[in-house]
Each structure stands twice: as C-alpha cells, then as structure tokens.
Amino acid sequence: MALPACAAGVLQPSLQPERGAPARTTCPCRHSRGEAELAESRPRSVAASAREDPPRGVSRGFNSQPPTEEPLKASSSLAGAARAPLFPLLPRGRRGRMHDLRRRWDLGSLCRALLTRGLAALGHSLKHVLGAIFSKIFGPLASVGNMDEKSNKLLLALVMLFLFAVIVLQYVCPGTECQLLRLQAFSSPMPDPYRSEDESSARFVPHYNFSRSDLLRKVDFDIKGDDLIVFLHIQKTGGTTFGRHLVRNIQLEQPCECRVGQKKCTCHRPGKRETWLFSRFSTGWSCGLHADWTELTSCVPAVVDGKRDAKLRPSRNFHYITILRDPVSRYLSEWRHVQRGATWKASLHVCDGRPPTSEELPSCYTGDDWSGCPLKEFMDCPYNLANNRQVRMLSDLTLVGCYNLSVMPEKQRNKVLLESAKSNLKHMAFFGLTEFQRKTQYLFEKTFNMNFISPFTQYNTTRASSVEISEETQKRIEGLNFLDMELYSFAKDLFLQRYQFMRQKDHQDARRKRQEQRKFLKGRFLQTHFQSQGQGQSQNPSQNQSQSPNVNANQNVTQNLIQNLLQNLTQNSSQNSIQKENRESPKQDPGQEQSDSNTSNGTNDYIGSVEKWR
C-alpha cells in the first residue's frame, strides 16, 4: 500500500504508542508535534525504546535515516529532537553545509578542551617544579605548595606569554640563520667603521713594495696661504659626488657659499677673496671640459695667476687629487651615458700648446651625438677615447707626441703612458677609489687635516651594475682597457697599503698618548704623596721628633724610589733614541728628526716636572 506524500519526508519514525493503545491509521505528520511533546514528557527509557521500530502500518520513508541508539543531545546544532523532523525538509546543499558546520564545531570544541586541559596540566606541573626548586633554595620560607588562585593565574599568564613568544619567533625567524639568534653580535667588539665596503676581509695582502714616503701622505695644506687643491675629474668615476663633498661637506672656518640654482660655489680663503679649490663646482671648467693631467699642469698656473706679473706670482703648492674606478664598470657607465646623448664635444684635448687635428683624433659618429648606439658598435670604434681613458688622462702626453700615433710604435707608446700614469698617481697628494668611499674619506681627512661633516655613502647599485653582459663581452672590455686594468690594480694596492699604514699610525699614536697619560698620573700621585707627608710633619712636630728614625727611613725609601724611577726613565729614553737612530739612520728625513726631537723633549719635560714635584 502506497504511503502518503507527507510521510515520505520524515527523518525519524514517530514514537510507538503504549501497550494497549489502538493502532493509528492517520498520517503521522499531523501528530508529529504532539508526539514530540509526549516523548519529552515520558521517561527516558520509554522514549528510547519507542524509537526502535516504526509504528504499525507505516514503513520508513525514502529520505528517512536509520534509527540511532544514542539519545538526542540538547547541545547539538539541531537544538533538540523537537526540530529534528524539520531537518529533512531543507535542500540537500543546505543540509551538507549544516553537517560540515556541526563537524567543525565539534572539532573546535575538542581542540579547545584539549588545549585547556593541556595548559592546566602544564601549569600544575610547573607549579610543582617551581615549588620544589624554591623549597630547596629557600627552605621553609617558601610556601609555593599553598599558592592561591592569583598565583596560579599569574603562572598561567607567564606560560601563555612564553608560548606566544615562541610562536612569534617562529614566524619572524623560520630558519636557523636568524639574525636575532646570533650571539656573536653580543660577544664581538664594536665593528670597524672603515671595514672594506666590498665585504672582503679587513686584512690585505700587498703585491707591490712601496717606501715609507710613498705610504705616508701628509700634506701641510695652508688654506690661509697660497696653496691650491686641483681636482682632476675623470669621466664616470664618481667625481661629481666627490666634487660636491669638497664644496658642501667640509668643516671650514669660512665654508663655501653655494646658492640655490647655481652649480658653482664660492670657496674663498678666510679673509681673502681668492679660491683655495680648483674644481668643477668652484671655478668651473676653466681649462676645458674634463681636462686631463697634461692640460691642467700647463693651464692651472696661468688661469690662477694669469693677471699677475711672473715676478709677483707667489710660490704656490698645487696639490692634485683624483678619483679612480674599476675599468669595466667605468666603461659600461660611459657607454650608457653616451647612449643617452652625452658627447663631451667641449673637451679641448690641448697638448703641447695645440688641440689635435681631425686626422689625429677622428670621431666615432657622424651626427650630432651617438645616442642609442649599441654596446658592440661602441666597442668596435678604434678611436673611442673611452678605451684606457684613465691612463691617458693621468699620463703626460707630451712624452709620446700627444695624439700623433706615428711618433713611436704602439707597444712602446703604451708602456710609456702606463709608467707615466703610475708615477703621476703615486706622487699626487691624494687619490681615492669609487669602490671604497669610507676609506677615501678617511685618507683625505688624514692627508689634508680637513674633516667632513657627514660620512660618505657607498652605492652598490649603479647604472653600470644594472647592465648584464656575457663573460665573452667582459673579457673583450678588459682587453680594450688593458692599460686601465693594470693601473687600477696598482692604484688599489697603493690605496689599501696607505690605508693600513695610516690606521697603524693612529693606533701607535693613541698608545703613546695613553702611556704619557699614565706617566703623568704617576707623577701626580708622587706629588700628592709628598704634600701629604709634609702636612703631617708640620702638624705633629712632637710625634716627628719622637719618631725621627722612622721618618728618616721613610724619606730615604721614597728618595731611593724616585731616583730609581728617574734612572729608568732616562735609560729607557736613551735606549729608545739609540734604537731609533740605528734603525732609521739609513733613511731618516728631516720630518723624522723633528719627531725624535719632540719625543726627547717630551721625556725631558716629564723628568723636569718630576724633579719639581720632588
């Protein structure tokens, strides 16, 4: 017999009537609410037994679920058995979502319960452990076993804070190379502010042998006198940045006046209307755009003292400085600059009183500029002045016939140019390297005794570093600039040796000052000791008379100590002077003799001061 339509959607069968009740012939949907209320009013066992079989005459519906043996829970998502018959009436997708929600709710409750019990057990165990430790340390004074509720909460809060810190640390430092976990930062001394900017080792192994005079660059620059600093600016070596440091970043009695919107600054000497700096940002391109060594040495004296008579010109000291750069990086940077439209047509290239002809120095392009040229075309031009530019601009071109290539063979010409560039660079007052900005600043300050206001910045990303070239292209660039490669190797070795020499000299001077301060403090101690003894003798004449043998003995002891101290000082000073004379006699210069005399005068002054205190 077919079931009515309302009976097909019932999830659970209706409750079975009590024993002796008449069989029900009506539709169970009409009495579902009444049966639910009747089931709630009955005992638990009767309601559970009533759900075992469907009522007589009614079979399980199509969507009905098999009966379960567990009782209905009031804390379920269906909120009791009264709403259970309405659940099958929902769409199938909605029922699936409700089942997933119920599963997640039960999983979250289980996790919360496990976490709560775990933390409670951990706090309980920690409380017992701390109680045992405190009882061992403090004995009967510690009553950790009877900790109240507030202490339990505090302990639980500490445990939660520790777990939170561990979780945050795992998010911040997921790997083992975490910077926060390196204990060397706490145990190591202060880092060297002049550590090599290219992250190489602070120790440098020299490859060239230089004399002490080559390494010690100490220029007696008199800014109030007639001395002049001449900056030789080579293209794409960072000279623009260094030139701005010279006019804007030096601590001077009378700083340079730089106005907004003007490239040139006025750098006058204190109390004079005369410049002390010959550079792009002070005097402009007075000798031509990017003038080289040959042009500057013949042009600067005429420009500075051109209006004066030759007899009235002062005897000036021209201190030449420059900046060098790695040849490959400089070459690529110049190519990118030319590619953007730079030409340097205003360069005069004056040599031996005349500029070169078009046959001696032909151009690599026919138009107004060489903008947009590819790297291959830039390298293929045999007359490109970018090739070995640093050697050409630092050498004396008059030794090879200027730009006339027919004067001598190419091999001999290259050798003469390289040796001339090395000699001029070594005898310059100062030169720096673009790759070592902080060391460049340090050596300039030590050479000219002029300090910068703010430290130099090392830029590791430039336009040249963004150019990706193949290994074959790099080798070709190195071949085109083979003279610059050898010059840069020589310059880097000399630069780092000068830096190490100056640093060691600073450490020795600091050690000498500490020794002098220590000796001075010893003398002050002897002076205060004698003064206290004299005051004691004047205040207690009777005690001094009664204890005259002891006082005389103490005075004899102190006098012997002073005599021994003076003898040791004189012997040490004489031995040091003898050792210095024996060690530096073959190569002693007037500056060293003056330093030795200063040290001997210092020791004599100290001995005289001790004798006065005595």
In a domain? residue 315: yes
Between the two ends of the chain, the Cα-to-Cα distance in Å is 136
The residues annotated with a catalytic role in the active site are: 290
pLDDT in tens, 249-260: 999 999 999 998
In a domain? residue 240: yes
In a domain? residue 127: no
In a domain? residue 94: no
Whether 74 has a pLDDT exceeding 50, the answer reads: no
Cα–Cα distance measured from residue 267 to residue 250, given in angstroms and rounded to the nearest whole number: 11
What is the bridge-based pairing of β-strands 228-232 and 318-324? Answer: parallel
Cα–Cα distance measured from residue 503 to residue 218, given in angstroms and rounded to the nearest whole number: 13
In a domain? residue 39: no
Cα–Cα distance measured from residue 197 to residue 296, given in angstroms and rounded to the nearest whole number: 32
Query: pLDDT value at position 306?
Result: 76
List all residues 6 or more positions away from 360 whose beta carbon is below 8 Å from its beta carbon. Answer: 402, 403, 404, 405
pLDDT in tens, 153-170: 777 778 788 888 877 776
458 pLDDT band, cuts 50/70/90, is: confident
Backbone angles phi, psi at 250, to 5 degrees: -110, 135
Whether 336 has a pLDDT exceeding 50, the answer reads: yes
In a domain? residue 371: yes
What number of residues does the chain have?
614
How many structural domains are present in the chain? 1
In a domain? residue 104: no
Range 214-236 average pLDDT: 93
Range 278-292 average pLDDT: 95
Look at 179-183, 217-221, 270-274, 599-603 and tell me which has the smallest mean pLDDT: 179-183
The average confidence (pLDDT) of the chain is 75
In a domain? residue 407: yes
Query: pLDDT value at position 211?
Result: 93
Cα–Cα distance measured from residue 478 to residue 613, given in angstroms and rounded to the nearest whole number: 69
Cα–Cα distance measured from residue 112 to residue 429, given in angstroms and rounded to the nearest whole number: 76
List all residues 6 or more positions away from 286 whose beta carbon is below 8 Å from its beta carbon. Answer: 278, 299, 303
H/E element, 126: helix 92-138
Nearest alpha carbon to residue 360 among 383, 392, 380: 383
Chain-centroid distance of CA 175 in Å reads 22
Whole domain around residue 229: which residue ranges? 209-512
Answer yes or no: pTM beyond 0.75. no
pLDDT in tens, 487-540: 999 999 999 999 999 999 999 999 999 999 888 888 888 878 777 777 766 655
H/E element, 152: helix 149-172
